């Protein structure tokens, strides 16, 4: 197991360096003067330009600049936002919990519905239920989620009036964030109705962001389950006279879940991509919306830092998924 972890880690480092190279190059690839981009002012006078150039170390050789950037990054220095003048790291971690909360809820929604739906579809293969689940899954997979969000707003906010259109909680409530997770904070605040308001704000974004993972998980569970149900050991378990739910729920499911977990891990990256769209539709104050707003505001240090942090998060999550995968499936661990 240790050897497995070390191999994974040794792949991680070059990948991280590659990502920093990419974000480092980004500022230099954008057309225009990097100093004007980084300061956010146009038409600087030459003296100030030269001074800033020296201050930022842009008059040094590129390699030295990169080294400076990399050591800065490792010490948590990702520059300052042009618009708010705040360190990018602070901005990111203020908004990060909102995205994490939304992503976790979306994933729970997808897993809670997708796995049972996939199992049932496999067990009743060829039935009407199977066909409707697979039809719905393919539709979900083909769904432009930004449009799906707008449709749900029309139905549930416009016509039925059940859910709010945007934000994380009603403006009536105000309390200091403790964890950054609105569900927990609103619960802790003790204000009556605050928690309910947070939940109502969360429902539609959760459904929208969870739709594609839900479709993928349902499809994957069904096909993995179908494969496992043909195995000899399942037949043996049935022949022993075990109750069908025991055979399916314990014997078959345990092995069927292995590919499902891989797919869930792969969906984490998809979730971050989807968060950009979902947060934009629902004005959810998370990092997805922040990145897009930063691009539109030409706040390049924020874009640069945000991309680096998101990529790092995804790399770490992928590593964790790999490790969990190795833990539950010895065949992977022992393969070179």
- Using CB under 8 A, list all residues that contact another protein: 11, 14-15, 18-19, 22, 26, 29-31, 138-139, 141-144, 146-148, 150-151, 153-154, 157-158, 165, 269-274, 276-277, 280-281, 291-292, 295-296, 300, 303, 307, 310-311, 314-315, 318
Q: Residues in the chain, how many?
A: 336
Residue number with CB closer to another protein (50 or 138): 138
Q: Checking phi first, is residue 208 left (phi over 0); if not, alpha (psi -120 to 50) or beta?
A: alpha
Token pair for residue 35? 């100093």
Contact between 304 and 80 (Cβ < 8 Å): no
Q: How far is the CB of 45 from another protein (least distance, A)?
A: 27
Least separation in angstroms between residue 32's CB and another protein is 10
Closest to another protein by CB, 62 vs 270, is: 270
Task: Select 26 or 324, whichever has its Cβ closest to another protein.
Answer: 26
| Smallest distance, another protein to C-beta of residue 200, A | 17
Query: Is the Cβ of residue 74 or residue 154 nearer to another protein in the bound state?
Result: 154
DSSP for residue 80: B
Closest CA to 98 of 212, 173, 186: 186
Q: C-alpha distances in angstroms, 219 versus 116, 120, 126, 134, 195?
A: 11, 11, 14, 7, 34
Q: How many CA atoms lie within 13 A of 332 on its CB side?
A: 16
**Shortest spacing between CB 323 and another protein, in angstroms:** 16
Question: Considering beta carbons, is residue 86 or 139 the nearer one to another protein?
Answer: 139
Q: How many CB atoms lie within 10 A of CB 234?
A: 17
Residue whose CB is less far from another protein, 184 or 317:
317
Give the Cβ contact number of residue 173 at 10 Å: 17
Measured in degrees and rounded to the nearest 5, phi and psi for residue 8 equal: -60, -45
Residue 274 C-beta: closest distance to another protein, Å: 7
Looking at the Cβ atoms of 16 and 195, the one nearer to another protein is 16
| Residue 43 to residues 40, 77, 88, 132, Cα–Cα distance (Å) | 10, 27, 25, 61
Smallest separation (angstroms) from another protein to the CB of 203: 17
Please say whether the beta carbons of 28 and 316 come within 8 A: no
At closest approach, how far in Å is the CB of 315 from another protein?
5
């Amino acid at each position: 197991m240790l050897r497995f972890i070390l191999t994974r880690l040794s792949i991680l480092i070059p990948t991280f360096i590659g990502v920093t190279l990419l974000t480092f190059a980004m500022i230099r690839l954008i057309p225009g003067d990097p100093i004007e981009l980084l300061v956010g002012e146009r038409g600087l006078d030459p003296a100030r330009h030269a001074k800033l150039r020296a201050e930022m170390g842009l008059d040094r050789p590129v390699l030295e600049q990169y080294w400076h950037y990399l050591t800065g990054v490792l010490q948590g220095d990702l520059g300052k936002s042009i618009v708010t003048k705040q360190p990018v790291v602070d901005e990111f971690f203020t908004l990060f919990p909102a995205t994490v909360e939304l992503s976790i809820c979306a994933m729970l929604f997808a897993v809670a519905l997708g796995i049972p739906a996939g199992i049932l579809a496999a067990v009743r293969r060829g039935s009407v239920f199977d066909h409707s689940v697979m039809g719905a899954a393919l539709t979900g997979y083909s769904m432009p989620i930004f449009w799906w969000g707008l449709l749900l707003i029309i139905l549930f906010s416009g016509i039925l009036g059940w859910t709010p259109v945007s934000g994380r909680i009603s403006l009536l409530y105000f309390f200091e964030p403790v964890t950054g997770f609105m569900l927990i904070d609103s619960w802790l605040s003790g204000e009556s109705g605050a928690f309910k308001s947070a939940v109502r704000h969360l429902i539609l974004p959760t459904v929208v962001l969870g739709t594609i993972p839900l479709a993928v998980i349902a499809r994957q569970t069904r096909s993995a389950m179908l494969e496992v149900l043909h195995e000899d050991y399942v037949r043996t378990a049935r022949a022993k006279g075990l109750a069908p739910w025991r055979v399916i729920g314990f014997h078959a499911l345990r092995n069927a879940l292995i590919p499902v977990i891989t797919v869930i891990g792969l969906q984490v990256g998809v979730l971050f991509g989807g968060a950009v769209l979902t947060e934009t539709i629902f004005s959810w104050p998370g990092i997805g919306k922040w990145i897009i707003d930063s691009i539109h505001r030409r706040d390049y240090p924020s874009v640069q830092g945000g991309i680096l942090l998101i990529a790092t998060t995804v790399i770490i999550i992928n590593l964790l998924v790999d490790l969990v995968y190795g833990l539950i499936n010895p065949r992977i661990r022992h393969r070179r």
